Homo-oligomer: A and B are copies of this chain.
Amino acid sequence: MSGERPAGSVTIVGLGPGAPRMITPEVTDALATATDLIGYGPYVARVPDRPGLTKHGSDNREEIDRSRHALSLAAAGHRVAVVSSGDPGVFAMAAAVFEAIEHGDPAWRELDVRVLPGVTAMTAAAARAGAPLGHDFCAVNLSDNLKPWALVEKRLRLAAEADFVIALYNPVSKARPHQLGRALEILRASRAPETPVIFATAVSEAHERIDTVRLGEAVPARADMRTLVIVGSSQTRLVARKNGPAFVYTPRSAPPEASS
């Protein structure tokens, strides 16, 4: 922000679930005026090349390094776009950038930093199945890279007790094949086997796959790194159809006995 060098900026943008038709115009504009693009390689690759744009793709696990890089470039006058899939504020790059600001060069706090929201995986997946998030819900990141697994289990138990619809982000990875099985086991202890569970994979892309099963028969093998899982509440309904997969929705209303 000093007069000695051009004013740089960091804009943290959400590319949505995958398809360009789900990217908001303000994100498209930010990508069109950026000088530098920073993010996980496959997300950076989604943005078309053009003269004047330098792409800095990186590995998936380097979020803080990536954030510092973005802030350093902005401090030097670059217009940096940091790309995430989905919404950048939900288990994605925005929190990493603010963490880097808090613990980094005090001058970074005065940079022009903004976040542009996107369509998050949870609502994109819900839309494909019907309206499973039509009533109170929670979102839990199943990765225990940055938090104790005991905390995840505690949250799942309390979320089940609260009868929230539960969206599970990052249900599995190569390094974490077992968490989803354990999460489903915990939820089976308090929810009926008939509870609908949606496995939504690669939403809006060519190989999109939406499977709705019952909690009693849900197996982790249905999920991969591109899957978002939604576990229904006690009220979530399946509406069968002749011409296609059932609609899944959670009614806006809850019965009086639900509060006991």
Contact = CB atoms under 8 A, between A and B. Distances in A.
Contact of A159 (B26, B89, B127, B162): B162
A74 to B, nearest CB: 14
Interface in A234-256: 237, 239-243, 247, 249-254, 256
A218 B99 CA distance: 25
A239 B134 contact: no
Contact of A130 (B98, B124, B155, B164): B98
Contacts of A98: 130-131, 134, 237, 239, 247, 249
Interface residues of A, number: 84
Interface in A173-210: none
A231 interface: no
A24 B26 contact: no
A43 interface: no
Contact of A250 (B95, B161, B254): B95
B134 A91 contact: yes
Q: How many monomers of this protein are in the complex? A: 2
Q: Is the interface of A mostly helix, strand, loop or mixed?
A: mixed
Contacts of A26: 19, 21-22
Interface string A131-161: 1111111111100001110110111001101
A242 B110 contact: yes
B136 A155 contact: yes
21 contacts: A1-B243, A22-B26, A25-B25, A89-B133, A91-B134, A94-B131, A99-B252, A101-B247, A109-B242, A115-B126, A117-B123, A118-B119, A135-B141, A137-B138, A138-B159, A138-B162, A146-B254, A147-B253, A148-B256, A158-B159, A162-B162
